[in-house]
Structure 1
Amino acid sequence: MNDGDNTTTERDSVPPGAFRLEIADCAGSGWLRPGESVLKAAVRQGIRIPHLCMTGECGSCRCRLVRGKVRLKRDISSHVDAAALQKGHLLACQSEAQSDILLAVPGLSRGTETGALINTGGRIKSVTELNHDIRLLTVELDEAIAYRAGQYAQLCVPGHPSLESAPRCYSFSSASQGEPQTEVQFHVRRVPGGQFTEWLFAEDRAGHALDLTGPLGDFGFRDDGRAVVCVAGGSGLAPVKAMLEHMSQLPVAPDTTLFFAARSQRDLYCMDELARLQRHWPGAGRLLVLPVLSSEAADSGWEGLRGFCTEHLERFCSLADTSFYLCGPPPMIDATLEKLDGKTPAHCIHYDRFFDRSHLAEATA
């Protein structure tokens, strides 16, 4: 966004009754209207706090309060646990200032609690078809990155009129190799009207520059001694696949079941990779992979599960004794959470809603 003279004047002049908004390591400042969320104030003034949904569902606007006081508009424990909250972590879209505030923002401020965040350039190495609407995006980075399976990065296209200043969030789709690496991969689903995916799918983009900020997010495997069920839909398979690869590298891994939600057989992908993980699952446990098709033709010969994942959960696990990891579109996540409500302890349910441009009109209305 262009910070011209008018924008600069608005950001530097704080009206009576408003609070000042400052971002660590960034020049200039902004201000917040009474009752206005930190994120809305930032967007209004061209301060580039990363975000997508603006409703507290995606968690991409997570940042840290360095100084000042805020009021949370809702429970954010699905993205910020109690320990992180005590350290000042918050969601900008769900925070209202109660005083002048100073924030540390990923991608804008130096360092994070792990010290792992980087901002680096890179180039597209390849874009490979996985199914009819999902591609494997492989990127070679200028600087090596260390990340955990389940985390994500923000991608920008330098020089593009809109994609340069509007980051897109994608989860790493393969497990880290145990040390910082310069090659990373993502699953990108084509979204009609989605600027990044329309750009990526339009032609061969190999060699094109990208900017990356990451790693971000705290989704990932927590070894709590319980059996594991993963429910993934669409490109939500990316962080789940990375997590399963990480688990397969452990000396012992728990019994794990993956429900892979899809409309039809043509929507399935990475099945060979999942089969290899099944064959080499460590320890005495097992990995069970169960595709579930909701719109497969009745006469197709498909012998696997049909319908929705929620219809089959109790057949394959005890809801009370299992830890759940959910990744995919909001309707799938919401239906699964409703199924687990009152049956599975809340601290044993971990999820990552995959918002895209088709979900945003309703979410930001």
Structure 2
Amino acid sequence: MRKIFNLLFLLFIFIIPQISLEYWGNAKYGFGIILIIYILHFVVSKKHLINGKTILYPSLFLIYALFTIILSENNDKGIWIFRLLTLLLVTVSFSFYFNNYSNLYTFFKGYYLGVIFAAFQIIYVFFFAPQSLIVEGRANILGIDSNESSILLSVGFVIGLYLYNLTKKKFILFSQLFVIYAIILTFSRTGVISLLFIILFYAWFKLKGIKKYAAISFLIIGFLFILSNLEKPAHNGGLQFLTPTGKLDLSGRDLIWSTGFEIFKESDKKIFGFGIDTFSTELDKKLFGANAHNVFLKILFELGIVGISLFLLMLVHLLVNMRRIIKHSKTPILLFCVLLFSFFTLSWIYTLHIWIFLVLLQRYTALLRFQNQH
């Protein structure tokens, strides 16, 4: 019964992502309170972590972020304190939850079912309710922009491959086609590149001999054919990777990055940063208000050298653990690569999904190491 309850809760988180990502907004404390009450039972269940460091580094970063917002003069201080406390509790509780392969498998099933639901929602809305799209001509999961939607779907695609290898159920393989199509309909270059990387990575490590090269060639040709025959959104000309002059098209991100870094470099707030949720405001004084479109720049700008150091320490620790288990499983590596790539183009560091994924990777690698040492 408990596993069914956990599965239903995971479906609630990921099938209704607009609630799970916005529970900390104005007058939206309800979901956060429900989430906190639910996850506390993990903390008091008296389970022990295999490796305490899996919770140490993520917690240090969030505690530091919480400390900076408490000392700041942010107008939304209450919301941010609640948001960061919730993310901290999520980090702690899911570190306990991902304590065995059974719970990990339950999570994967719940998340993948949510991804299938999201894929069908994207396909339906794109063709039958386009007025619901956040950006005209670019599909998205309800409440999430197209770029973030494409990465959530890409993570689901990786998990789907893992479940198929484990169960060999053809339903999972068939459902992956809808996930692929949904990613393409987001018209997100971040998502499309991630998808192509996942397919090539999987083919390279899972297939052998002539099958490997034939599958990779077939996938690339098929992928390019699908892209070339999609109806292109009028506002951006479709998946455009190059400008008319032949340069890499970053849609203004390069200007945002250079200006944001210049503001940081010229400031006297290098150690502790400008404070959470200040990037757009400060950028607007010199250029225009915009997201950082880069997790590393956002953390450096808002939390300073201390904040980025703590975040990089967490990633380095994760990479070191992955290097030790790479011979036994490629899934954590693939998930990490997708998330890492998204950090270079998105600013979604304070979302619920990111911290669940980071903890999942920490725990998954710890479980694999523990299993191989015994």
TM-score by length of 2: 0.27
TM-score by length of 1: 0.27
Structure with higher RCO (Cα < 8 A, 6+ apart): 2
* Higher-helix-fraction structure: 2
